[in-house]
Amino acid sequence: MALKIVCTDQEFITLWKELGSPRLVAKKLGVADSSAMRRRASIESRLKIKLPTHNSQRDQPKPKQKKIELAAHNVRRGIDVDKVKRVIVFSDAHFTDTTTTAFKALLQMIDTFKPEVIICNGDAFDGQVLSRFPSINYDAKPTVLEELKYCQQHLDEIVKHRPAGCRLIWTLGNHDMRYESWLVNKVPEYSGVDGFSLKYHFPEWETCWSFWIGEETVVKHRHRGGRHAGYTNIITGHTHVLAIQPITNYQGTYWGVQTGCLADPMSPTFEYCEDGPKDWRSGFVMLSFDQGRMLMPEMIMVSDEQNGLFEFRGCISKI
């Protein structure tokens, strides 16, 4: 088949040296890519020269997107790993009118270590009267308004203690969503009205489902009880368990972290457990980062709620 290229060999050579790509040359001449490649092969054979490609337009793999770029900001947020040294994560506060030892220790740790990020990892709001589960006794439950006030009192206290520039993140939990889910299902016509979303009441806190620190560490409320997912550090709440589990593979050591509960496990909030034994621990965790990776996480664990004692780095402290 004759080539439909209306230019001389010398014009083709000049164009090739300028553009350096079969695709770009073909586009310039208005022909198919294969036609340009055949013309190049013909010229190379006849004139005993080489016309190397120096500007390949073949489909190249796109640069890998950062994980925080793969979802909308209200779903997934994050921070570059080289911008943090300390991150404090607490969860399952289920705030009431009582201030726990774990909460007091949290404020002390914020003052001492001045983290770049503080993460409320879900279930700050409890939503007892919004629960789908029936009451098991006649005790009065706190109203939605009362629970909102408890949350505001405690989270506002954290705002007062946060260091300058520290980000406040709230990775929403299933109890937090009781507030909005009840409204969405009962009065969907009020979508967008001020106050009908939990985050409206806490403007200082950035809400999301997950928060990424670099590409290898994710904080979210629920994820298989803190187990690992590939080459990723998983930091979760929800279970009320305070525990750290490493796993080492060919790529290095990664951590499954469960962030305990800021609430007192013996609180009346959890009477649905019928005074059964609970493998729960009151406390929270601190994450440290250096040279682009997460170091061994550290737990802050309440050892005596009544006397205000907590353990950290091999010492018992009184709050």
What pLDDT, on a 0 to 100 scale, did the predictor assign at position 3?
45
The 3-state secondary structure of the chain reads: CCCCCCCCHHHHHHHHHHHCCHHHHHHHHCCCHHHHHHHHHHHHHHHCCCCCCCCCCCCCCCCCCCHHHCCCCCCEEEECHHHCCEEEEECCCCCCCCCCHHHHHHHHHHHHHCCCEEEECCCCCCCHHHCCCCCCCCCCCCCHHHHHHHHHHHHHHHHHHCCCCCEEEEECCCCHHHHHHHHHHHCHHHCCCCCCCHHHHCCCCEEECEEEECCCEEEECCCHHHCCCCCCEEEECCCCCEEEEEEEECCEEEEEEEECECCCCCCHHHHHHCCCCCCCCEEEEEEEEECCEECCCEEEEEEECCCCEEEECCEEEEC
What residues have CB less than 8 Å from 97, skipping those under 6 apart?
142, 146, 150
- Structure-model confidence comparison of residues 250 and 127, the more confident one: 250
Count how many Cα atoms sit within 13 Å of the Cα of residue 149 in the half-sphere of its side chain: 7
Return the number of other C-beta atoms located less than 10 Å from residue 273's C-beta: 12
Q: State yes or no: pLDDT of 225 exceeds 50.
A: no
Residue, of 94 and 58, whose pLDDT is higher: 94
Handedness of CA 237, 213, 229, 113 (dihedral sign): negative
For the segment 311-318, the average pLDDT, to the nearest whole number, is: 96
pLDDT digits (tens, 9 = 90+) for 121-156: 999 887 665 555 556 666 677 788 888 899 999 999
CA distance 13 to 154: 74
Q: What pLDDT digit, counting tens, does each position of 167-220 carry?
A: 999 999 887 777 777 676 777 777 777 777 788 889 999 999 999 999 999 999
pLDDT digits (tens, 9 = 90+) for 92-116: 999 999 999 999 999 999 999 999 9
Axis crossing angle, helix 144-161 with helix 101-113, rounded to the nearest 10: 30
Q: Give the span between the Cα atoms of 172 and 207, in whole angstroms.
A: 7
- pLDDT value at residue 2: 43
